[in-house]
Structure 1
Amino acid sequence: MLLWIAFSLMTGAAIMAVLWPLRTGAALPAASTAEADLAVYRDQLTEIERDRASGLIAPAEGEAARTEVARRILRASAERSREGASSGDDRRRRLVAVVALLGVPLMAGGLYLALGSPLYPPQPLAQRLEAQPNPSDVAILIRKVESHLEANPNDGRGYEVVAPIYARIGRLDDAARAWANAIRLLGPTAPRETGLGEALTAQAGGVVTTQAKTAFEAALTADPKDPKAQYFLGLAAEQDGRKAEAAARWSALVAQSPADAPWLGLLREALARIGAPMPATLTAPAAGPGAADVAAAESLTPEQRDAMVRGMVERLEARLTQEGDDIEGWLRLMRAWTVLGQQDKARVAAGQARTHFTSDSGALGRIDALAHELGLGS
């Protein structure tokens, strides 16, 4: 309650400080100064006329005196008019002052009660840093981690947590340093190395520098299938003018990627940029791996292309063994083995597909139709 009283007094003092210049002087007496002056001037006119009549002053002097008194009467009359207008202005100023003195605090208090939280305890910055931060308050989260790292400079996990946040908000120098510290303290892994490589590449305006390339190569050493490292190493090859190497890397990445991989669009644009075809993915909607897929991999040797396609088909077969309710996958597997000249394996795939869809007449019809088309028998 004392706090509210103090706020009210401070508000009133602030308003009075603003309204003080609008104050008016003391109230005028009933007979204003102008009225008194007019009465004196009228008496002077009467006295001048009396002196002229009695011959105490010459006619010319009397006329001059009369003219001067008349001028004073006009000035006093104008002053009286201004005083009347000023009296009306004073009343309006008083009304404005009363409205401001009462209305502004009442309106401000009402808005605060409606929109604010008068019962919520104060939260200075130090307490907010100590408290559990709001996940959406990124600045508080970063400051909290930075304070922790200042006290614990060998906490590699802290650097690993804050590094991607730095990168996301554009603090690329800090992101690169954080990833480097995480690698130094925790050891190299594919995500840490690719994080460092991405930060260095972004720092260089999209150019894969020597340091970034080293980081991506270290990521591939830790995980040969890491998609980010493969993409950026292909980008480095393109930037160095080695388009065949870039096409080989990107085509291999497409071949090992699922159809819903988020980086396929980027790879499609990259391959189109260097004039290379887009090979089919393992679970692409179109027909499964076959002769067209082998022809698409022009940057690979025949042995590499054959191994790539067989690997794709074998991975598809392994997936269908675990997830057998994918009718499109079974149809692609039958077609793929046929294209590769493995008719026996194609027949086995057709039989396994029928086993998975024994109660689905529509799926059985599609399997039988494709088996007939491929010459696999029934």
Structure 2
Amino acid sequence: MMIWAVFAAMTGAAIFALLWPLSRVSLQGFADTADARSLYRSQLGEIDRDVARGLIAAEEADAARVEAGRRLLRAAGDEVSPAGETEPSLRRRRASSALMLSLVPLLALLVYGSYGSPDAPDQPLAARLAKAGAQQDFAVIFARMEAHLAAHPADARGWTLIAPIYLRQGRYDDAANAFASALRHGRASAELWSGLGEARTLAAEGVVTAAAREAFSDALKLDPRNPQARYYLALAQEQDGDTQGAAGSLKRLLADTPPDAPWAAPVRDRLARLEGAAGGEAIAALPEAERQQAIRGMVEGLAGRLEAGGGTLAEWTRLIRARAVLGQKEEARQAVKTARERLAGDASALAAIEALAHELALKEAAP
């Protein structure tokens, strides 16, 4: 209710500001008329003094008195209807006042109805903060952390905490600066050096730069088993064209990695791609007979590993296709059957195996 009272007061003030000049009567016309009468009376006195001194004749003096009297009468007649007080002007002033009194509030209501939100409920600050929940709390805390570090740039602990957050947010340059500040003002660790290298690599769009390699090397000096530094240095070998060296580095990393480690699966996928690329390049350089023999050996090796247990959908798909391409239809059907058994708990994988069997004309092997 208070807001409407404020709006009414503002509207009244605006109307008052518009009507105030119209309510005042101008006195400029009276001043002009009074000055004209004084002038003409002075002219009559001048005429009498000129006649007494013999400067003008009696006939000329009479004519001058008649003209001055005519002007004096005309000036006196103007005083009856001074400027601004005539009936037409009074009507115009009243009409203007009425228009302002009606149009200003109406225009204000129309504008507010078009662009305002009269039906929107109140939004108290406390309710908005409570609704924002943890996200709002994190944003406030994060802003306080940044403000604290701006005021205390030598706080190594603060830089250590905020650097991984920058990294997750995709602010790679800020992350690199934060890791570097933590190393500069605090105690060096393998995690900080590897974090700095990763931030520099991601800032370079995945290219392991010289500065990033230096950071990873410093991390390995403090912890030779640091998986993050070892993985990115293997990636650097791959980018240098040393595919076999990169694959060897990843194999050694997997040998030191627990099976349930979160980085184990990405390392395996990378290694599989590297081995496939290296094997393909090597096989392509062999003579035809030797190339076919090498391909059969790779297929048999993959089949033996999958028969021993496990295997992903991609690996089973690769084995089934290879058997079919080599003309080993019965072996391909057996691979389809085994894949169904091993992937029985994955509906999407089973559907993919069925589609592949249909594509390769292996459906008769279905149970």
State the TM-score, normalizing by the size of structure 2: 0.48
Which structure features the higher share of helix residues? 2
Larger Rg: 2
